[in-house]
Structure 1
């Protein structure tokens, strides 16, 4: 068990973790530019960007976010994307057309609009027609990207996932649903875990750094602030992009 202050990343690798994007393509672009500047200012031996999930819903540009991430993760070994519950919710809606699922009532309308499809989830006829239209509108590459998202990854003393872990369960035995959904049992537990958990999923006003976890979800779709964490061996640095102004916060 190890706490945040003592935790180290692997030797020779700079890691960037990015919190929930939720359709804020402008902020994601800004964070990528900020990372590029950090790498140019102090070139690392090697580097990796880990996106912590929830790329779609609520914000206005889910399609553009998926376009970027699908392309970047395919073309570069330095880009990694993990699954969030909203990303899986989109896949579930495409499969079932469920008018009462996560996608339907948690910002899915904005995702559909980014693909040129308008769905009124309070109208059964609109849901059925919109479901069929959205299935056709979303490019196969986006669907393949979403289906291929991992639930977690670990480097050094850090474990990255969307929502958190179930305390007391070995990291390699975590329930995949817990990794994208868990809240209370994880957030309210102050004991140290086998690794420091870097996550999003639960919005906070500012990036929340605790001894056993780091929450990077600062509600980008509503707050206009996207948060990240840089880890380089024993060095850790919080990053933030606010609207179109890149702000580096140590």
Structure 2
């Protein structure tokens, strides 16, 4: 059974459309119009077009595209900030908040027409955001799933906690985990397809496939096709084997 995956987007609508077009080209070659296309989360922050990314994905789902969109940790930070701008996600270091340059929340608010959000009074910026971020965007983001199981692949944003039953994984691990998952070479019973940890290019490690090719730092948004536990990077020239 076939599925497609697209890695972290981070507000780069143009790069997302390039990746989706590569999926479209592969569908034309295979004749498979029904295989799910899974977007692995981190739709928001750092890039300039978060609003456009969210609208594009919402519109695609509304017209019946077989698109699955997962929640990433940045997406959760955004919706959490809209609920309470003074709350602190325990997975962030104490000196870093969502509007910190390292996180990139200011770029997300700017995409909604909020000027200089990181340089103004926090409560005023929050009040403006509640007026300018459409409720439909907030509702859609808050309802995104955190996992998607398809055939022999489990799609999540960050990874899983090794040794824990797949049905018992916590949202914090699915959205935030790094070293404990990345350094574990055991078979997880499925191919774990994930993003979250930026690398130079999509890489298959045998037990997992990392799709985060650093769009947040000047890299592309990558697209891949997964069949069983095998994967191919999609390029303008066609499929390139991964792993």
TM-score, normalised to structure 1, is 0.87
C-alpha distance 176-55 of structure 1, shift in aligned 2 (>3 A): same
- Aligned residue for 1:104, secondary structure, equals coil
Determine which of 142, 157, 163 is the counterpart of 2:152.
157
C-alpha distance 233-166 of structure 1, shift in aligned 2 (>3 A): closer
Q: Any stretches of 5+ residues in structure 2 without a counterpart?
A: 90-96
Mapping 1:187-202, distance limit 5 Å: 187-202=182-197
TM-score, normalised to structure 2, is 0.89
Aligned residue in 1 for 2:106: 109
Aligned residue in 2 for 1:4: none
Contact 2:8 2:43 in 1 (8 A): yes
Is 1:23 equivalent to 2:20 in the alignment?
A: no
Greater relative contact order structure (CA < 8 Å, 6+ sep): 1
Determine which of 46, 49, 66 is the counterpart of 1:58.
46
Mapping 1:178-217, distance limit 5 Å: 178-217=173-212
How many corresponding residue pairs? 231
Mapping 1:10-89, distance limit 5 Å: 10=1, 14-44=2-32, 46-76=34-64, 78-89=66-77
Aligned residue in 1 for 2:163: 168
Contact 2:4 2:38 in 1 (8 A): yes
- Aligned residue for 1:87, secondary structure, equals helix
Is 1:96 equivalent to 2:91 in the alignment?
A: no
Q: Which runs of 4+ in 1 moved over 6 A?
A: none
